[in-house]
A and B are shown apart, each in its own frame.
Chain A
Amino acid sequence: MRKILVGVKRVVDYNVRVRVKPDGSGVVTDGVKMSVNPFDEIALEEALRIKERGEAGEVIAVSVGPDDAQQQLRTALAMGADRAILVKTNEVLEPLAAARVLLAIVQKENPDLVIVGKQAIDDDAAQTAPMLAALWDRPQATFCSKIEIKGGSATVVREVDAGLETIEVDLPAVFSADLRLNEPRYVKLPDIMKAKKKPLDVLELAATGVSAAPGLKPVLTEPPKPRSKGIIVKDVAELVDALKKKGLV
């Protein structure tokens, strides 16, 4: 296989306690720590391992987002991606638009495999992989926990509700990485220095011909309903009493 393309989305770091803006227009992102979507680190790690096994020639990290997403792409390059592409836009794209942009890059680069995250932890949409696969008219394997490349096809283990499902798909294909696919490597300081010299191409969203206009109108963003304050019991007997009172045991 020649090339693997990996989606790298810049998102609010998973440790940040996200707050809703008082006017209901969205969440507070100013001054908030941003990171590579955790599932995308897993996607990238898998691509790097496939390459390190000698089964792929090149790993390309692609991000669709603001200029600052270059930071996340530099992280991807430091992890080991060979080059990176930023499709620049200040608009927040829906997954369908993100998939269309990725398709434009796919058509230019002709990768044998695209690996994205199972979901972005900001929109929690989990749509991009199947959407890209549909638009590209290629197989998809979502929620991968194991990937084996066998020449022109791949055997993939998927995390489904019942347990684990194994499917076989012809390449090229789109995979989405689940948590247990691998544990991403840590970036070492010399790699960060090396990453500065790796190519990072920036192009404008307009160059892909994809519209950023949202298909769904967000009318309100609100915090979840708070749960009512609970009680603290001092021992098991009190716990059982409390449960009995609620008719739960």
Chain B
Amino acid sequence: MSKILVIAEHDGQKLNQATARCVSCARQVPDAAITVAVLAADPAAVAAQAAQLAGVTEVVTVAAAHNAHALAAVLAPQVVKLAAGYTHVLAASTAFGKDLLPRVAALLGVPQISDAMAVVGAYTFKRPTYAGNAIVTLEAPADKVLVATVRSASFEAAPGGGSAPVRAVAIEASVPAHTRFVSVSAATSDRPDLASAAKVVSGGRALGSKENFELVFRLAEKMGAAVGASRAAVDAGYAPNELQVGQTGKIIAPELYLAFGISGAIQHLTGIKDAKTIVAVNKDAEAPIFEVADIGLVADLFQVIPELEKALAK
């Protein structure tokens, strides 16, 4: 039997949806008992949300003032203590999980599987390499704890309806003072979250300016969609960095992805390969984005976006 420890990601109040997707991955491991660990200053609210996820057997909480902000150097020694007796330690492959889990793996002296995208067996997972151009099946030794980050785009969020017990645990681990949280500038917006949105409208270099990029924001708002951007658009300052989609940005799997003026470099495509429907609008009929688009329109985005807005308003 597998005993899986999933490290919850949260902002102190809300459980991140990526954790629910990570739980889905854990549920695909045959014969698994799933524990979600919530490390926080005050874990109650997040623990209650985790307890409702289908498939979760138990929630453990570690309440400590030093857990108010997710600092890998502070969390890792605690996760190592928690991991005793578990066969797997998983976290979402988000900035949080990518920062924390390799530190945990190294402390445990085991390798890590990054971005697990499919479960083949209890110790066998698939993961993408080379910007998603080569999928590798990896087998981990069954006599060691398996540490893996889970690619959110590859798993649906676990549904609610569960009612797992919540247990508080005290951890004796010396946490370092060498790493200190200062601040986080979260771009607060009412827009759907890019990582989990069903629809995403995305813009590239072709938008040409921050002002023009407003077209993308406006269309997204009309459609109830999240906004994404290519690296070129982010680098040029048209869109904030947290909207970057791709190998080094966010890997997403929306129902609908609309790309305006994005050429379709492999580094961008790796971020949208799992989207159900890709729509590309590009002036250049030869643009590589058309090789992956389900629906392509060879046209000028500055004409298409206003027309589309009108057509959708009807």
In residues 100-142 of chain A, which contact B (Cβ within 8 Å)? Answer: 118-119, 121-135, 138-140, 142
Q: Measured between alpha carbons, how far is A124 from B112 in the docked complex, in Å?
A: 12
Cα A122 to Cα B95 with chains together (Å):
19
The residues of A that contact B73 with a CB separation of less than 8 Å are 133, 139-140
The yes or no answer to A219 lying at the interface (CB within 8 A) is yes
Q: For residue B296, which residue of chain A has the nearest CB?
A: A232
Are B298's CB and A96's CB within 8 A? no
Contact A215 B141 (CB under 8 A): yes
Q: Mark B62-78, 1 if CB is under 8 A from A, else 0.
A: 00000000011100100
| Cβ of B168 under 8 Å from chain A | no
Q: Is the CB of A227 within 8 A of B297?
A: no
Q: Are B102 and A239 in contact, with the CB atoms below 8 A?
A: no
Contacts of B277 in A (CB 8 A): 243, 246, 248
Residues 158-181 (chain B) with a chain A CB within 8 angstroms: 176, 178-181
| Smallest CB separation, A91 vs chain B (Å) | 14
Q: Mark A205-219, 1 if CB is under 8 A from B, else 0.
A: 000000000111111
- Residues in A neighbouring B128, C-beta threshold 8 A: 124, 224
The verdict on B235 contacting chain A, using a C-beta distance below 8 Å, is yes
> Which residue of chain B has the shortest Cβ distance to A143 in the bound complex?
B95
Contact size range, B? 35 or more
Q: Which residues of A134-157 are within 8 A (CB) of B?
A: 134-135, 138-140, 142-143, 145, 155
CB-based contact A233/B181 at 8 Å: no
Interface residues of A in 57-99 (CB under 8 A from B): 94-96, 99
Q: Which of B106, B176, B294 contacts A139 (CB 8 A)?
A: B176
Alpha-carbon distance A217/B311, docked complex (angstroms):
53
Contact status B248-A179, CB under 8 Å: yes
Complex CA gap A133/B103 in Å reads 7
For residues 134 through 157 of chain B, which have their beta carbon under 8 Å from a beta carbon of chain A? 134-141, 144
Report yes or no: A123 in contact with B137, Cβ–Cβ below 8 A. Answer: no
Does B129 contact A122, Cβ atoms closer than 8 Å? yes
Contacts of B273 in A (CB 8 A): 224, 227
> Given contacts A161-B95, A233-B296, A237-B311, are A221 and B114 in contact (CB under 8 A)?
no
A215 and B110 contact, CB distance less than 8 A: yes
Complex contact B266–A17 (CB within 8 A): yes
Contact B106 A134 (CB under 8 A): yes
A124 and B297 contacting across the interface, CB-CB below 8 Å: no
Question: Is B49 part of the binding interface, using a Cβ–Cβ cutoff of 8 Å?
Answer: no
Contact partner of B134 (CB less than 8 A), chosen from A20, A129, A162, A242, is: A20
A19 to B130, CA, bound (A): 10
- A223 pairs with B133, CB closer than 8 A: yes
Asked if A219 and B178 make an inter-chain contact with CB atoms under 8 angstroms apart, the answer reads no
Closest Cβ of chain B to A227, distance in Å, is 5
- The 8 Å CB contact of A12, one of B130, B136, B299, is B130
A30 in the interface, Cβ–Cβ < 8 Å? Answer: no
* A232 contact set on B, CB distance < 8 A: 290, 295-298
B304: which of A135, A231, A236 is its contact (CB, 8 Å)?
A236
* In contact, A168 and B182 (Cβ under 8 angstroms): yes
Chain A residues contacting B105 (CB-CB under 8 Å) are 96, 127, 131
Q: Does A1 reach chain B (CB closer than 8 Å)?
A: no
Residues of B within 8 A of A96 (CB): 105-106, 110-112
**Which of B11, B138, B182, B295 is in CB contact (< 8 Å) with A230?**
B295
Interface centre among B94, B134, B136, B187 (most CB of A within 10 A): B134
Measured between beta carbons, the chain A residues less than 8 angstroms from B106 are 96, 99, 130-132, 134-135
Q: Does B215 contact A (CB under 8 A)?
A: no
Looking at A159, A233, A236, the one whose CB has the most chain B CB atoms below 10 A away is A236
CA distance A127 to B149 in the complex (A): 11
The answer, yes or no, to whether A235 is at the interface (CB within 8 Å) is: yes
- From residue A231, how far is it (CB to closest CB) to chain B in Å? 6
> Which residue of chain B is the closest to A134 with respect to CB atoms?
B106
Q: Could you write out 10 A-B pairs with CB less than 8 Å apart? A: A125-B112, A130-B103, A139-B73, A165-B184, A219-B139, A222-B137, A227-B278, A233-B295, A233-B296, A246-B277
Given pairs A159-B95, A239-B295, 8 additional interface contacts (CB within 8 A): A20-B134, A95-B111, A215-B141, A220-B137, A224-B135, A227-B278, A232-B298, A236-B304
Ranked nearest first, the 7 interchain pairs of A and B with the lowest CB-CB distance are: A215-B111, A134-B106, A130-B102, A131-B106, A127-B102, A130-B103, A166-B182
